[in-house]
Amino acid sequence: MPNLLDGMRILVLEDELLIAMDVEQLCRDHGAHDIIIVRSLGELQTAPEALPDAAIVDVMLGGESTLDFAKDLHARGIPFVFASGYTQSDEIFRDFPGVALVGKPYSGDDLMSAVAEACRRVRPSIPSPATK
């Protein structure tokens, strides 16, 4: 399996435990070094202070929108993708042009490719899988 996320620290915002665990394993399988799972917006207050290299963001956590948090990620230049069942949100497409929205249920390969692509757009030093 290509190490699309080699050595990266990934923040996963996902309220469904089984999905979060699956995404964590996918990230590890693709080379991520550290994965932080956050299952509610309240947990963001106690999450480690070190900034992630990238994030996978569910649009809704426990019924609360994560779009303000996504705006903060965007302002900080942290690459991210949305991974959500909410795929028809005009606000996402309007406020986050160019940010991938991977709809649930998704394939692991599609999600990891979207994260790797987001990182290449923001941090061009990450080699494409074809060049590794």
Q: In this structure, are residues 41 and 64 in contact, taking their beta carbons and an 8 Å threshold?
A: yes
pLDDT tens figures, 30-53: 999 999 999 998 888 777 677 899
What is the reported pLDDT for 90? Answer: 78
CATH dotted code for 9-125: 3.40.50.2300
Q: In this structure, are residues 83 and 23 in contact, taking their beta carbons and an 8 Å threshold?
A: yes
Q: How confident is the model at residue 89 (pLDDT cuts 50, 70, 90)?
A: confident
What is the reported pLDDT for 122? Answer: 59
| Residue 61 clears pLDDT 50, i.e. is over it | yes
Mean of pLDDT values over 77-96: 86
| Residue 72 clears pLDDT 90, i.e. is over it | yes
Q: How confident is the model at residue 128 (pLDDT cuts 50, 70, 90)?
A: very low
What span, in angstroms and rounded, lies between the C-alpha atoms of 100 and 80? 8
What is the reported pLDDT for 125? Answer: 45
Instruction: Give the helix ranges, DSSP H, for the chain.
Output: 17-29, 67-76, 90-95, 108-122
